[in-house]
A and B are shown apart, each in its own frame.
Chain A
Amino acid sequence: MKILPTLFILSWSMLVFFAQAADMKNANEIITKANLASYYSADDGSAQARMVIVDAQGNKQMRQFTILRKDQADLGNQDMLVFFSRPTDVKGTVFRVVKKVESDDDRWLYLPALDLVKRISAGDKRTSFVGAHFFYEDVSGRNPAEDNFTLLNSDDKFYTIKAEAKDKNSVEFDHYIVRIDKQHFLPMQVDYFNSQGKKTRTMEVLKTKVIDGFTTVMHSKITQHADGSYTEMQFRNVKYDLGLPDNIFSERSLRNPPKAWLK
């Protein structure tokens, strides 16, 4: 029976170790880990997604698409392609992003009806992504270098961090408060406030799933509090480390989507 206390002590010390490791004090370090967990899982990935956009009157719209993503480096530049399949008027539309840490992202939209590769200017990254309550930046990830972070609270489950944009003119919010799960570092809720301190917008994660060892957001929602309108986004067929070749992240894929990677 001597083995039991030994095990107990062992597990206790491990618990203490993990608790200490998890209890971080530096907001920037927490945000870095959150950024990794949210946008840089594995070296590449693919997923099917759909959004249901519900306006203030309860009218629903749907967008369905497939995302391919490849990291040039962890926390570094990223390539991303979004292929729309629904509804009819956006079917065949492809959105291409080169996410850049050091400068503005490069973004293109391919409109098949006109065979037009339209470039999107960098300024409007906090505008609606194809009519949803998600912004372009919510999809590709906001660059943490654009904000200043303060750790407000640390409880059993979450780090609560306040973020303020370094350039307040570039954003529609005064500040936002993000609750990051201590276990997997995914931001589970983000509340955006205006200068009157009123909550204007909320992002919440409704469901996560561990896929290939990466805790992955499977269902999230963004609500606009002024009128109660919202968008829900769901994922399926999430895959990591597919070995996506670099050359598919190019203008060629806009006109000729890489079928082999979209199944």
Chain B
Amino acid sequence: MECSTVYKLAKHLIFLGTSLFITLQCIASNLEVSDEEDWSDDNWSEEVTSPWKFSGFVETGYGYLLQDNIVASNLSLAELTARVNIDYSHESFELVTKSELVYDHILEPASDRAFWKTRELNVRFSPTNNTDVKIGRQILTWGTGDYIFLNDLFAKNWQSFFSGRDDQYLKAPSDSAKGTWYIGDYSLDLTWTPEFSPDVYLTGERFSFYSPQVEDIVAPAENFSVQKTNKAQWSARIATNNNGVEYAVYGYKGFWPTPLGMAENKNQLLLPYFPEMNAWGTSIRLPLSGGLFNAEFSSYSSIEDTQGNNPLIANGQNRFLVGFEREVIKNLTASVQIYIEQTKHYDQFIAHSATPETEVDENRQLLTLRLTYSTLQQQLIYSLFNFYSPTDKDGYLKPSITYRYNDQWLFSGGANLFWGDKKYTFFGQHQQNTNVWLRVKAQF
């Protein structure tokens, strides 16, 4: 790193640190007082219940890339977030708002670094006895995988996942309407997103990636233009629980969540876009041998390339997952998953590929191991998540330590370590994105 970079970095860290410290001190001192008051027999008798609920946090995160990378900044995380949650509870509806004021030092140009972000803004109500409706910006999740998604095609934020932000940010919000009908022991969920919500994928701004066109690692950042789509996406699920065994069937009509196609735009420029994709699948989850077993299947149809002979559009896939989790010794939980991603029409795929030698195996295999050890009354949590692909010969290790000092202060640190034999495989392409991170959070 050059001297000027170090200087700038130090300056910003001091700014981040100082502002955070002051804010948090104010919050923490207020909180300590109110906590003391609450914990007495007298105060416990009656509490004023307001329909309004306020809460939030201030968090700072800092992370940097451990290897030389072609991205503009050596920082993988340098941000300050102030979150405000305001909820309103009415007899007939619930209003949820979660907003954030963010200063993100990695963004270019500098004028874009501070911004306001609405994470959730939705209203939930029950129009009939057996119907729930939730409308607005919301987080949507289903499926049984752990960091592996088959039937959950709702938006993910991979930049957050790779940079060590809190797990909740892996799920990106969608502007959607969700209806749930309860009929006997069954529930039917239907979500409609009028304007397709893609993943927050890698653009080269924070992290570099492999480009099959360039046949090398690239970091286009603001030059990475994608043709957006504003068409709707639909997701459905039918779920039931029979004596502790959970079954579900899923359906999806929409687009690939990342721009896995190339097409000409109006100016006849070949640009990435989101090809149409439909999917269906099923899952089961049940207790087994003192632990939990889950299995999930999903079939993706890439409907703009049903025969798999268009090299500019991703082929359909069949995805298979089995997993098992249990406590190994007291406070140590282990879970393993075996995942197979099968490319449909593989012969066609290879026959039409310009670079068949760099293409993924017909049956890409992935094994994951998660170890979680909690101690000090769950105040200190050690976590390790490892992805390993025998077919790609690559992997991704996510270790972290979280210390919950009290109800206000949370400290965490970790790393995102990528490795691989080849620069074009799923995790191998991210070797230079390997990073370490630290976060401090104060809640109020």
Q: Which residues on A are within 8 Å of B, measured CB to CB?
A: 50, 52-53, 55, 59-62, 86-89, 91, 98, 100, 103-104, 106, 113-116, 119-124, 126-128, 130-133, 172, 229, 234, 236, 247, 250-252, 255-256, 259
Q: Number of B interface residues at 8 Å Cβ cutoff, please give it.
A: 54
* Contact with B443, one of A50, A52, A88, A103 (Cβ below 8 angstroms): A88
Residue of B nearest to A247 (CB): B182
* Contact with B290, one of A122, A251, A259 (Cβ below 8 angstroms): A122
Whether the Cβ atoms of A124 and B333 lie closer than 8 Å is yes
Q: Residue B287 at the A interface, CB < 8 A?
A: yes
Q: Residue B327 at the A interface, CB < 8 A?
A: yes
Residue of A nearest to B132 (CB): A256
Which of B14-22, B254-262, B296-304, B402-410 is the interface stretch? Answer: B402-410
Q: How far is the CA of A259 from the CA of B92 in the complex (A)?
A: 10
Given contacts A234-B44, A259-B89, contact A172 B182 (CB under 8 A): no
Q: What are the residues of chain B within 8 A of A121 when measuring CB–CB? A: 287, 290-292, 325-327, 333
Q: What are the residues of chain A within 8 A of B376 when measuring CB–CB? A: 55
Q: Tell me, rounded to whole Å, the shortest Cβ–Cβ distance linking B263 to chain A.
A: 33
Q: What are the residues of chain A within 8 A of B39 when measuring CB–CB? A: 52, 60, 62
Q: How far is the CA of A61 from the CA of B187 in the complex (A)?
A: 37
Residue of A nearest to B325 (CB): A121
Residue of A nearest to B245 (CB): A106
Q: What are the residues of chain B within 8 A of A98 when measuring CB–CB? A: 244
Whether the Cβ atoms of A88 and B444 lie closer than 8 Å is yes
Q: Tell me, rounded to whole Å, the shortest Cβ–Cβ distance linking A194 to chain B.
A: 13
Q: Which residues on B are within 8 Å of A, measured CB to CB?
A: 35, 38-39, 44-45, 53, 55-57, 85, 89, 91, 124, 126, 132, 138-141, 167-168, 170-171, 180, 182, 187, 239, 241, 244, 246, 285, 287, 290-292, 325-327, 330-331, 333, 374, 376-379, 404-408, 410, 443-444
Q: How far is the CA of A127 from the CA of B291 in the complex (A)?
A: 14
Residue of A nearest to B333 (CB): A124
Residue of B nearest to A87 (CB): B407
Q: How far is the CA of A229 from the CA of B327 in the complex (A)?
A: 24
Q: Tell me, rounded to whole Å, the shortest Cβ–Cβ distance linking B444 to chain A.
A: 7
Residue of B85, B182, B287, B405 ringed by the most chain A CB atoms within 10 A: B287
20 contacts between A and B (CB under 8 A): A52-B39, A53-B377, A61-B404, A62-B38, A86-B407, A88-B55, A88-B444, A91-B53, A119-B246, A119-B285, A121-B333, A123-B291, A124-B327, A128-B377, A131-B377, A132-B377, A236-B44, A250-B182, A252-B180, A255-B132
